[in-house]
């Protein structure tokens, strides 16, 4: 099984998401490691969720955490990527692959975003654009991000559904997409409908006819 584009799953905090997304061969699985955030994953929980997984890289998601807060936390986790919303953090952790995230709910100046991307381009694997509140944005906003993808590695994390995902993958320059995990209804039970619809749309049919 494989997917037609690069996929990151953000805010994984339960075994249902971890198992399902690993089985769907996503590229990156992100965990909120900043303990002041509601989706925080403790070192113990992180080991429970990741200990048996293979074939997927783990992202430590730190939001706007300070350098000191990240240093105090990161030693307790085995991660491959560090994700931050703060451009000043990017040069401070060269031992990790790095992701710079832009929260669309807080972005107000497209030119400022482009300037930040230009300065950070050599130090990051990609730029992630998400809506922290899950908001849906107008087409002109999406198009501004897609324009940036022509010059920089951009992973899109908003305004995605199973109806438009193939067009985004095939007709734009984005590196890939990002989807969010969520809370379990109860341990072991989760409504995967939206997540599954998108990932299944991206599945490559590797059936070989005899």
d(CA 57, CA 75): 17
Q: What is the CATH number of the domain that holds 136?
A: 3.20.20.70
Range of the domain at 26: 6-202
Q: How far is CA 169 from CA 33, 35, 83, 93, 130, in A?
A: 29, 34, 23, 31, 17
Total domain count for the chain?
1
Domain annotation covers residue 101: yes
User: What tokens were used for 128?
Assistant: 């992630």
d(CA 196, CA 139): 24
Domain annotation covers residue 62: yes
d(CA 76, CA 25): 26
From first to last of its 210 residues, the chain has per-residue pLDDT tens of: 699 999 999 999 888 889 889 999 999 999 999 998 888 999 999 999 999 888 999 999 999 999 999 999 999 999 999 999 999 999 999 999 999 999 999 998 899 999 999 999 999 999 999 998 888 999 999 999 999 999 999 999 999 999 999 999 999 999 999 999 865 434 444 455 788 899 999 998 765 454
166's enclosing H/E stretch is: helix 165-171
For residue 44, the Cα-to-chain-centroid distance in whole angstroms is 22
Domain annotation covers residue 209: no
Domain annotation covers residue 207: no
User: What tokens were used for 53?
Assistant: 């997984």
**31 near 51, Cβ under 8 Å?**
no
């Amino acid at each position: 099984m494989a997917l037609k584009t690069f996929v990151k799953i953000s805010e994984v905090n339960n075994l249902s998401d971890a198992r399902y997304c690993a089985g769907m061969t996503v590229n990156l699985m992100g965990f909120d490691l900043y303990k002041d955030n509601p989706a925080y994953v403790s070192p113990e929980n992180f080991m429970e969720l990741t200990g048996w997984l293979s074939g997927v890289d783990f992202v430590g998601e730190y939001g706007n955490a300070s350098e000191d807060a990240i240093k105090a936390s990161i030693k307790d986790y085995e991660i491959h990527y560090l994700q931050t919303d703060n451009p000043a953090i990017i040069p401070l952790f060269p031992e990790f692959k790095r992701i710079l995230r832009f929260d669309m709910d807080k972005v107000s100046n497209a030119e400022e975003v482009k300037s930040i991307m230009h300065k950070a381009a050599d130090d990051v694997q990609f730029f992630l654009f998400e809506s922290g509140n899950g908001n849906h944005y107008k087409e002109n906003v999406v198009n501004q991000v897609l324009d940036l993808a022509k010059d920089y590695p951009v992973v899109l994390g908003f305004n995605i559904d199973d109806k438009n995902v193939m067009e985004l993958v095939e007709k734009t320059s984005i590196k890939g997409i990002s989807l969010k995990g969520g809370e379990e209804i109860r341990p072991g039970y989760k409504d995967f409908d939206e997540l599954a619809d998108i990932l299944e749309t991206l599945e490559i049919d590797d059936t070989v006819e005899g």
